[in-house]
Chains A and B, each alone.
Chain A
């Protein structure tokens, strides 16, 4: 059985690997082809902020986001939370465009994962809808605040937030099946409960939630931060859904991912409508991170790289410190 599965898996893996490889090669060719064409077509070089030709940065962006896609999957984090501090800290793009691209990267990942999670009943629409209403409305406010505030303040707050996320990753515990003695009145009225089938144990897990009003209040803050920083918000959604509300871990992770598709949609529109979206940044980032995620999932299936989580934490620590010091004008 294992052999047949592995054979089928290998064939599928081969096709997918081929697809990833061909996509990456096409993308690289496209960039180099255009770069050559644009060099030939412009006899007088236009002065730019950087000495490097224009196509270097989107190309590097594609390569880096491809690697981030792999690391994000292996480290169990969303792409957006790595994208914004790393690209914002070490690329020449203004933080306004980085946040716009970060939101669309996180949105694309959530849109891609959403249908499967919903169909399998892992993501729960009844749990997501009330939370999404609050988070998405507040994400609009966050996005407007973020675009109105000076870059220094945004970078400082972003750095502080990233360091906070590092603390959450290091300290927050997870609970596979939190013990919810009694559902609260609001979740009972909204009938937020469910059953999901745990394939690994073959068990049907009944779940219900508590502390719904308090959690909804926290989602006001999460929504604002998601919109303001373009980070995605899985790092905050999962602890609140799992530890505070008491949803099972898998339901929390899946619902959080689906939730991002709604929260980030509302914030993304603010960035799009206010001009903070550059296709030359957004598209290589989305393609890079998606292809990287496909490779990451394959690596994850073969190995259990516990060390990667610590690498992610170190990367976030470094990128968060960079954003903080950039905001404070200490490390320009």
Chain B
């Protein structure tokens, strides 16, 4: 009678990948934060300077700390503060891979409408993650 079997194939596939990705992401987040606070990698913004920056609006902070936006954090990943973005990007990216995982299952089951919904969701997430969408600042 257990209804755990009620979960569909795509639902279980999504859940398994989400579970692994979430655990890996959290682990990376904690490890990279330890690297940050122990000073193993020198941060781009010294920790003593942080209180000057965290009360600023984001666009002023970016200017003051000379930080480029978008995916440019990848080239700064050797810095103690930016290494944390590996874990953050991992957590923010796991859902995208879960969707990609279930698309073939949905089409194999001839669930075309949901297959298309999943593709559209992938496009939304890729657009959001692309860095193309920039805000004007305030």
A151 at the interface (CB under 8 A from B): yes
Q: Judging by beta carbons under 8 Å apart, are A30 and B34 in contact?
A: yes
Q: Judging by beta carbons under 8 Å apart, are B69 and A273 in contact?
A: yes
Q: Which residues of A contact B14 (CB under 8 A)?
A: 118, 125
A112 at the interface (CB under 8 A from B): yes
Q: What is the size category of the interface that chain B forms with chain A?
A: 35 or more
Q: Which residues of A contact B128 (CB under 8 A)?
A: 136, 140, 265-267, 269-270
Q: Judging by beta carbons under 8 Å apart, are A108 and B137 in contact?
A: no
The B interface is mostly helix, strand or loop, or mixed, namely helix
A160 at the interface (CB under 8 A from B): no
Q: How far is the CA of A52 from the CA of B55 in the complex (A)?
A: 14
Q: How far is the CA of A276 from the CA of B119 in the complex (A)?
A: 28
Q: Judging by beta carbons under 8 Å apart, are A136 and B124 in contact?
A: yes
Q: Judging by beta carbons under 8 Å apart, are B51 and A50 in contact?
A: yes
Q: Which residues of A contact B22 (CB under 8 A)?
A: 108, 111-112, 114-115
Nearest B-chain residue to A98, judged by Cβ: B54
Q: How far is the CA of A116 from the CA of B87 in the complex (A)?
A: 22
For the complex with contacts A42-B46, A50-B51, A114-B15, 10 further pairs of A-B residues with Cβ separation under 8 Å are A92-B51, A97-B54, A118-B14, A126-B8, A133-B124, A147-B137, A261-B18, A272-B85, A275-B69, A278-B54
Q: Which 6 A-B pairs have the closest CB atoms?
A: A197-B3, A279-B84, A115-B19, A118-B15, A121-B6, A48-B51
Task: Please give the residue numbers on chain B whose beta carbons come within 8 Å of chain A beta carbons, in ascending order.
Answer: 1-4, 6-8, 10-12, 14-16, 18-19, 21-22, 25-26, 29-30, 32-34, 36-39, 46-59, 61-62, 67, 69-71, 81, 84-85, 87-89, 91-92, 94-96, 102, 113-114, 117-118, 120-121, 124-125, 127-131, 133-138
